[in-house]
Structure 1
Amino acid sequence: MSETTQVVVVGGGYAGVTAANRLTKRDDVAVTLVNPRPQFVERIRLHQRVAGTHSAVVDYASVLADGVRLEVATAERIDAAGRRLVLADGGTLGYDYLVYAAGSTGATPTVPGAAEHAFPLTSLEEADRLVPALAAAGPAARVTVVGAGPSGIETASELAEQGHAVTMVCGDLLGPYLHPNGRRAVTAALARLGVAIVAGPGATVTAVTADAVQLADGRDLPSDVTVWTAGFRAAGLAARSGLSTDDAGRLRTDETLTSVDDDRIVAAGDAGTPSGLAYRMSCQAAGQLGAAAGDTVLARLAGREPRPATVGFVGQCLSLGRGDGLFQFAGRGDVPVRAFLGGRRGSRAGAWLKELICRSTVLQLTWEARRPGLIRYPAFIGDPRRPAALRDRQQETVHDTVQDTMQETTAPDVVPAASA
């Protein structure tokens, strides 16, 4: 009788659920998913939860394979030497392999007053704190959304459609990822919804108060409710556990998503940075990386060498309220191109595609739960420029190492001064 392999998956988002389901391909693997909430959160719908157009949660029973055990708990620390996960309530879970899919959170704002007066929107709990704040401010409330990425654009659109007077502070540029063609279409859509866009030189937030947002150019924007969507960083669990991370807190891994510190720890989704060249934080990457993380563990259990992860992007999809949307197409290297679906003539098509994608992310989890290994990502979808980028990075690392060694070997001896 074969021995059961214990695998703990930390984090129940898109990447973690995909990895957990993939691991049930083997009957001799016991999978435990650790997540602080009893429901799966559709993070890409949090702006809808705030506006009351979608709950943004799904029962785990519908997206997890029957063989996955859900442990509703908060992970406090990874004891890599002891191969156990320490929980916030003092309990522990032993493991043979650990999939690190702890995800990301909003970057802690360093702008004075932002932590006290602005409402972040990167988690279910943060969305639920924002809802009563908007209700208390009333329908005539002046709402300021800080941040020019997808979260900021979608939140501003949704709240404006609900009748709020919304100002969006973008910094230098609205939608930095977008091609100029797509950016013009999004700008026009926001204008139709009545969103005031503040961008360009001087449109950087320098302070937030209870009733205003102050900008670098000296302007004070009246704001009854300020929503902060600027910046993301990885969860802090890896750093707290003494594992190697990058500046954004992501676990350092090789191309098979294996931790550079421990081959029993594999990262997935926003939580990892393969070879120091992290993929764009998104659910688009999360599903692919979750599947790859599961495959890495399964390969090791089968005695095979894991294959490098392959991640491909097709663009960025934005909802602009319930009746409008835009899909910005991109090349295989995640570089936006001129083509997009949406704009005034294609707004309904853009909204339909965005909703289809939101639904399909959950459907893919369901399909993988029923038939683990069903969702496959062919190697040709990957970024064709990544191998060259990896070679350049390796050469830079070797050069830096050589320079450091030469400085150490040629440094003059330092003779300590005699004590008085």
Structure 2
Amino acid sequence: MTGTRTTNVIVVGGGYAGVMAANRLTHRDDVTVTLINPRPHFVERIRLHQLVGGSDDAVVGYRKVLADRVRLVVDSVTRIDPAERTVTLATGDTVGYDYLVYAVGSGSADPRVPGAARFAYPIATLEEAQRLRPVLAAAPATAPVTVVGAGPTGIEIAAELAETGRAVTLVCGGLLGPYLHPRGRRSVARQLATLGVTVLDGPGTKVTTVTRDAVRLDDGRELPSAVTIWTAGFGVPDLAARSGLSTDALGRLRTDETLTSVDDVRIVAAGDSAAPSDLPVRMSCQAAVQLGPQAAETVLARIAGGQPAALAVGFAGQCISLGRRAGIVQLARRDDTATSLHLGGRAVARIKEWVVRSTVKQLEYEARRPRTRNRWFSDDSRRQLLRDHPGVTPAIH
């Protein structure tokens, strides 16, 4: 590498996308990388249901997954000032940057259901899962537990707790596992039934009220519930909006296809908090580990004076735990459309554990050998979507 000037890059957020981006940025020796994250350790978000169930702590030391050249600052960013190219931290300090990678991730959505914020327990973050764990431990073994939301998180936590002997009701608010193909959905329903989970799906299963000891549905039913767990929907932090940057309706940073902010070419987004061309990909670890390196490559291309490549993302499906001894792999096309093919049973529990472990291994590998991972096979149908969509154009500064 030539040149004497050092380029300072800040990565805001230390989840899957942020860590991948930070590690990839160390490919250039003349780039200094600072990762700012409110926690001193990496959270394996896809293990949070295990934390609640008591089989894992869902954390890994950052020094295991971060490149040695990445400086870790344990703090929260309260504001981004694009004009001054600085961020303000919760401690009051300011940190300057040449480029910023916005990877703040996602969390629990505002339930907007009376009583839910007060009496239900979300589990989208480490702190939320840690808060729920002692509540469950204090509840009698026979106490009814209600899980609201039947996406992967809801299914996994319902199965995890039922396997420990808890009396669990899964309230779907519609379809069980909306992502799943009907064949995969039937397989999941059978396994949940085997574990003793009561599944309430279809019409009339939307929650209208949560109280201290009950959940009411829109068909008039009232379910006794000593502990109510809320897994319906995700939201994103409002840091971008508070900083005057353009966001979509959910609060994700609006970018072009290179993941560059529509407001500022010095800001690039990755992971759940990115909305490229107003056509964001599914919030998931699977997407985050692809978007993180691509956000870094956009920054590296700009530093080198080149043209960043367009987003390339492809999906393989969805892997869901059904307790510690079973699971399902729902296969999908690259455009994230579920197919009729799925794998189920005990072998999938081992596959899911391998997937979770290999995700951390992927972070470690990128930390030691940045820029050695190739892109995933991308979804070609995105090009057609973009042709049919007006898209967005970044501001040039």
TM interval, shorter chain, is over 0.9
- Contact map agreement 1:146 1:230 (CA 8 A) in 2: yes
- Contact map agreement 1:134 1:141 (CA 8 A) in 2: no
> How far did residue 391 of structure 1 move?
1.2
The one of 349, 352, 361 equivalent to 2:350 is 352
* In structure 1, C-alpha distance between the alignment counterparts of 2:235 and 2:263, rounded to whole Å: 21
* In structure 2, C-alpha distance between the alignment counterparts of 1:308 and 1:349, rounded to whole Å: 37
Matches of residues 1-400 of structure 1 in structure 2 within 5 Å?
Answer: 2-342=4-344, 347-378=345-376, 381-394=377-390
> How far did residue 141 of structure 1 move?
1.5
The code of the aligned residue for 2:74 comes to V
Q: Secondary structure at the match of 1:9?
A: strand
* In structure 1, C-alpha distance between the alignment counterparts of 2:70 and 2:174, rounded to whole Å: 45
> How far did residue 309 of structure 1 move?
1.5
The code of the aligned residue for 2:119 comes to H
* In structure 2, C-alpha distance between the alignment counterparts of 1:140 and 1:305, rounded to whole Å: 60
* In structure 1, C-alpha distance between the alignment counterparts of 2:390 and 2:37, rounded to whole Å: 36
- Alpha-carbon RMSD across the aligned residues, in angstroms, is 1.1
> How far did residue 138 of structure 1 move?
2.1
Equivalent residues, number: 391
Q: TM-score, normalised by structure 2?
A: 0.97
> How far did residue 70 of structure 1 move?
0.3
CA deviation string 1:226-256 (max 9, x = no partner): 0000001222111111100000110000000
> How far did residue 160 of structure 1 move?
0.5
Q: Secondary structure at the match of 1:394?
A: coil
* In structure 1, C-alpha distance between the alignment counterparts of 2:380 and 2:362, rounded to whole Å: 26
CA deviation string 1:252-298 (max 9, x = no partner): 00000000000000000001010000000000000000010010001
Tell me, which stretches of 5 or more residues in structure 2 are unaligned?
none
Identity %: 63
Tell me, which stretches of 5 or more residues in structure 1 are unaligned?
399-420
* Bigger helix share: 1
- Contact map agreement 1:146 1:227 (CA 8 A) in 2: yes
The code of the aligned residue for 2:31 comes to V
* In structure 2, C-alpha distance between the alignment counterparts of 1:163 and 1:145, rounded to whole Å: 15
Q: Secondary structure at the match of 1:171?
A: coil
- Contact map agreement 1:43 1:56 (CA 8 A) in 2: yes
Q: TM-score, normalised by structure 1?
A: 0.92
Moved over 2 A (4+): none
